[in-house]
């Protein structure tokens, strides 16, 4: 039999110390935000409707939706 040759493992980007897997904005850059409701009820004067303000827990992007 032949000798087994071990190849070096590719080195990926290391996480900053203290950061858990899944934290950061990698998912957000790909469109998978973690939406949380910022304000329960808010009234929009121009539309005359209730709007919900949603904020991403990871990156802080805000999105308003009509509910």
Q: What is the C-alpha to C-alpha distance for residues 32 and 25, in angstroms, rounded to an integer?
A: 9
Q: What is the C-alpha to C-alpha distance for residues 67 and 23, in angstroms, rounded to an integer?
A: 29
Count how many domains the chain has.
1
Q: What is the pLDDT of residue 8?
A: 84
Q: Which two tokens stand for residue 58?
A: 């990871």
Q: Average pLDDT of 34-54?
A: 84
Asked whether residue 57 is assigned to any structural domain, the reply reads yes
Note the pTM of the prediction, 2 decimals.
0.56
Asked whether residue 1 is assigned to any structural domain, the reply reads no
Is the pLDDT at 13 greater than 80? The verdict is no
Q: What is the pLDDT of residue 21?
A: 64
Asked whether residue 49 is assigned to any structural domain, the reply reads yes
Q: Is 65:44 a contact under the CB 8 Å cutoff?
A: no
Is the pLDDT at 36 greater than 90? The verdict is yes
Q: Average pLDDT of 20-45?
A: 79
Q: What is the C-alpha to C-alpha distance for residues 6 and 32, in angstroms, rounded to an integer?
A: 37
Asked whether residue 45 is assigned to any structural domain, the reply reads yes
Q: Average pLDDT of 27-39?
A: 87
User: Range of 50's domain?
Assistant: 35-66
Strands (E), 1-67: 35-44, 49-56, 62-66
Asked whether residue 54 is assigned to any structural domain, the reply reads yes
């Amino acid at each position: 039999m032949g000798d087994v040759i071990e190849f070096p493992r590719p080195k990926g980007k290391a996480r900053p110390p203290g950061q858990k897997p899944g934290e950061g904005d990698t998912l957000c850059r790909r469109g998978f935000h973690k939406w949380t409701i910022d304000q329960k009820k808010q009234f929009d004067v121009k539309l005359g409707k209730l709007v919900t303000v949603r904020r991403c827990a990871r990156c802080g992007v805000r999105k308003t939706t009509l509910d």
